[in-house]
Chains A and B, each alone.
Chain A
């Protein structure tokens, strides 16, 4: 296995930028909480990508300057936002109709675990005392035309999160198409995970050692 010094893991912003490179011009995209919210800053110049917010917005813009906040505009995390030219507002049933109806080209979410069969766990842990809360996670996972996950490759303690089968409660079964981590970009295929690319200095064997699921080289 390579030493940590030789591997240059992607930073959080580099992870967002890596994923953003794969979003083509013209896509309608929903971004989940956490890491995915960094993506809009890294959409390559010249591409027009429309961001959706589950609470009824298409054409969400950047956070507003402090002196120009419209408090009637919030995103899914209930932060104040701006609207771009061409934006539209709609009610919740239409918003989730867009999601469930497969109208969004892409949804990018964070996760606790992704399994080689495309299962995703990102809404609940196995702790029994937490008050359950799901929000729009299941709708987004089941409904989007493509689900990509942006997440750290392992836990802080080094435990794998790219796994054979999820140990946490599922958000949806068999839906993840790609996973982008600080170590690699992976495609979910009928045979399991195929490695699209890896962080500089990382070998296939070293990546496999940090991954519970079996990895496949690109044909």
Chain B
């Protein structure tokens, strides 16, 4: 029998190792798995690389993780507004920052998920972010090569889930979550609702359970008004 449900956040995160690359779903706080972030803080893994669209402004959990000193690197498209905890570490050289165009982050993650080691994109050609990257011309246009972004762990916020790990999302809380769920060796999901197998309409499932390893039911609040 397949049952990916786990009882607690602590159990879901128990074996996250030092040095892990962690994909963190969410666009701002919407779709960001707050309880898994808090759990990761409590769990104590160090030397983490966090992949997140933003640096955690307005997020209860992410600035705390930075402040704990356990994040070695942030891969991010838009680290502004910048939470003070991150700014301080960045200014003192205690955290690395890799700024990547938003669509390139998404595609690097997708590439890792679908077995594509690298791809060419027009984004960043001729700019500071494209400097030093391998380029190639196709049909008269120049592209830069980008590598797949593989990860050890993905932390995902879903709206509904079943014991096979099939997922749906709510509103724009979907954002990076479905591609991140596909791309990590260990995909951990916090869900607002746990439903019986068969309750999710197969036509409506966004993330098929094959990509998911653990699901924990968390009574998380709605995002704050913005």
Closest-by-CB residue of A relative to B78 is A135
* Contact B222–A132 (Cβ < 8 Å): no
What residues of chain B lie closer than 8 Å to A93, measured between beta carbons?
106-107, 109-110, 178-179
* Contact A92–B77 (Cβ < 8 Å): no
**Known A55-B172, A56-B175, A93-B107; contact A135-B102, beta-carbon cutoff 8 A:** yes
Query: B19 in the interface, Cβ–Cβ < 8 Å?
Result: no
Give the Cβ gap from B10 to chain A, nearest Cβ, in Å: 27
**Interface magnitude class on chain B:** 35 or more
* Contact A72–B170 (Cβ < 8 Å): yes
Give the Cβ gap from A35 to chain B, nearest Cβ, in Å: 19
What residues of chain B lie closer than 8 Å to A172, measured between beta carbons?
123, 125-127
Query: A90 in the interface, Cβ–Cβ < 8 Å?
Result: yes
Give the Cβ gap from B109 to chain A, nearest Cβ, in Å: 7
Within 164-182 of A, Cβ neighbours of B (below 8 Å) are at: 169-173
**Known A91-B174, A131-B82; contact A72-B102, beta-carbon cutoff 8 A:** no
Give the Cβ gap from A98 to chain B, nearest Cβ, in Å: 10
* Contact B170–A99 (Cβ < 8 Å): no
* Contact B79–A78 (Cβ < 8 Å): no
- How many chain A residues touch B (CB < 8 A): the figure is 41
* Contact B123–A72 (Cβ < 8 Å): no
Query: B225 in the interface, Cβ–Cβ < 8 Å?
Result: yes
* Contact B79–A92 (Cβ < 8 Å): no
Query: A133 in the interface, Cβ–Cβ < 8 Å?
Result: yes
Option from B102, B174, B225 in Cβ contact (under 8 Å) with A80? B225
Q: Known pairs A139-B102, A143-B123. 4 more at Cβ < 8 A?
A: A131-B82, A170-B126, A171-B127, A173-B126
Interface of A with B (CB < 8 Å)? Answer: 53-57, 69-74, 78-80, 89-93, 95-97, 99-100, 124, 131-139, 142-143, 169-173
Interface of B with A (CB < 8 Å)? Answer: 27-28, 30, 53, 58, 77-80, 82, 87, 90, 97, 99-104, 106-107, 109-110, 121-129, 169-179, 206, 222-226
In the assembled complex, 28 residue pairs joining A and B whose CB atoms fall closer than 8 Å, in A order, are A54-B103, A55-B172, A56-B172, A71-B223, A72-B170, A72-B171, A72-B173, A74-B30, A78-B30, A89-B174, A92-B176, A93-B107, A93-B109, A99-B103, A100-B123, A124-B128, A131-B80, A131-B97, A133-B78, A133-B99, A134-B78, A134-B99, A135-B102, A139-B102, A142-B124, A169-B127, A169-B128, A171-B127
